[in-house]
């Protein structure tokens, strides 16, 4: 499998788990692709967060960082999930992280999950219960407590791709006197606030500056 086909799989995000399970494909990816300065910073700082050694829990990717956002998601996701791969790929000072395999949750804004964005993230994190009452009987914005319960205290990497697309769609769905888009923005704000209580949780958001969904792009401020 070529690195290009790996990237295509990640672009389809639902197949990301399949790539994570194929160690040989992951090693082929790192043999064929080099680390840009931006990707080096993301990996170094993101892994430090997962190891509990950094206060920065959120990262916002744009085209300016170089290397492509999909490559960046794939690289940090593979490295976070596989301690052995980290030792093979990274320099000794970067690979010396004291966590084994982080849980990796990757969500595409091109999807419209029935359990909404927050329920979907919680389900993929393996902790759906805290979010169930915020979507099952109608959309409601979860709070910091619920997000902290989902993220927990163990290393967890949440990759959010194409959020402007989801926000654009959600703004057109009324929920009482507001919209699903407004509720989603409130939920995301609380997600980032919860990072202060979850010192080994890391969230990476992608959003290209020239994204087609310009209205949605302007709504999420990190």
Q: Retrieve residue 182's tokens.
A: 């407004």
Note the pLDDT tens digit of each residue in 23-58. 557 787 888 877 888 888 999 999 999 999 999 999
Beta strands in the chain (DSSP E): 58-61, 103-108, 156-161, 174-175, 178-179, 201-206
The structural domains of the chain, ordered by start, are 3-208 (3.40.50)
* End-to-end CA separation in angstroms for the chain: 36
pLDDT tens-digit readout, 106-151: 898 888 999 999 999 999 999 999 999 999 999 999 999 999 999 9
Stated pTM of the model: 0.86
């Amino acid at each position: 499998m070529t690195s290009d086909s790996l990237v295509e799989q990640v672009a389809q995000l639902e197949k990301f788990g399949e790539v994570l399970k194929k160690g040989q494909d992951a090693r082929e990816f790192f043999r064929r692709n080099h680390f840009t300065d931006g990707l080096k910073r993301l990996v170094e700082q993101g892994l430090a967060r997962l190891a509990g050694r950094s206060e920065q829990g959120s990262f916002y990717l744009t085209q300016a960082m170089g290397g492509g956002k999909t490559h960046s998601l794939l690289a940090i996701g593979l490295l976070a999930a596989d301690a052995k791969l980290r030792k093979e790929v990274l320099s000794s000072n970067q690979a010396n992280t004291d966590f084994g395999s982080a849980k990796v949750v990757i969500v595409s804004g091109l999807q419209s999950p029935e359990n909404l964005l927050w329920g979907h993230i919680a389900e993929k994190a393996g902790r759906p219960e805290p979010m169930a009452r915020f979507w099952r009987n109608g959309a409601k914005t979860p709070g910091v407590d619920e997000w902290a319960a989902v993220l927990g205290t163990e290393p967890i990497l949440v990759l959010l791709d194409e959020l402007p697309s989801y926000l654009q769609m959600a703004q057109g769905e009324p929920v009482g006197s507001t919209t699903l888009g407004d509720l989603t923005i409130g939920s995301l704000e609380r997600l980032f606030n919860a990072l202060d209580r979850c010192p080994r949780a890391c969230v990476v958001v992608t959003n290209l500056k020239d994204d087609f969904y310009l209205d949605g792009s302007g709504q999420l401020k990190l």
